[in-house]
Amino acid sequence: MSTLSRGAALIYTLLVVELLFLLAAAPGLGLLLLLDRCASNVPLFALCAVPLAPAASAAVYALRRRRSDLADLRPSRDFLRGYRLNVVAVVKLWVPALTVLSVLAVTLTNRGAAGIPAWWSTLLLLLAAVVLLWSANALVIASLFVFRTADIAKLAWYFLVRRPGVALGTAGILLTAGAITVLASEAVALLPASLLIAGLVLVSRPMCAEIEERFLL
């Protein structure tokens, strides 16, 4: 197959996955885009973010199964199958992570009134970063493998230390998404969602390969 055909297949897959991601996340996106960025809305932000993880999980599943053959491109089928298979497992992991992140966000946004020292704020920011990186690992594992929820949580922690390169790559993707959100808006940050998720799939390959080699029979 020519390079042009492979490129066309990739672009088609990314566009379809992007559209389906936005549709799957739509229940929370409409309200999310209407909310003001203030501390009192943090719980609502968290509630709106719940559908994002199952949508991202389905995108991870579809992009991991991506085919370069134009005659056999079915990203929509893969996306829907990934959503159906993984929605429950992903929500079980994502909701507790969102709860922790919400508590940290409320604490940090009210640090002046609460008299929290700068060094403690730094620790809370580091904790939030670790939770986000753990969530990304857990999302990928839950999307591509069938384990118990507790085992997925443990593997996600394990690979934060075991594969620092994966964590570093994931951090770069999260920082990119965060920078777009801060400089533009949540809506603009969602436009390249399929590209960012494709990057997550790419940087997570060493972790996935080790899981296949060591933890699957």
The 10s digit of each residue's pLDDT in 174-193 is 999 888 877 766 667 777 89
pLDDT band at 152; cut points 50, 70, 90: very high
pLDDT in tens, 44-61: 888 989 999 999 999 999
> What's the CA gap between 153 and 92, in Å, rounded?
10
What does the pLDDT look like over 93-120, one tens digit per residue? 999 999 999 999 888 887 766 667 777 8
Whether the per-residue pLDDT at 68 is higher than 70: the answer is: no
pTM value is: 0.91
Identify the pLDDT of residue 84.
Answer: 96
Residue 139: pLDDT band (50, 70, 90) is very high
pLDDT of residue 117: 77
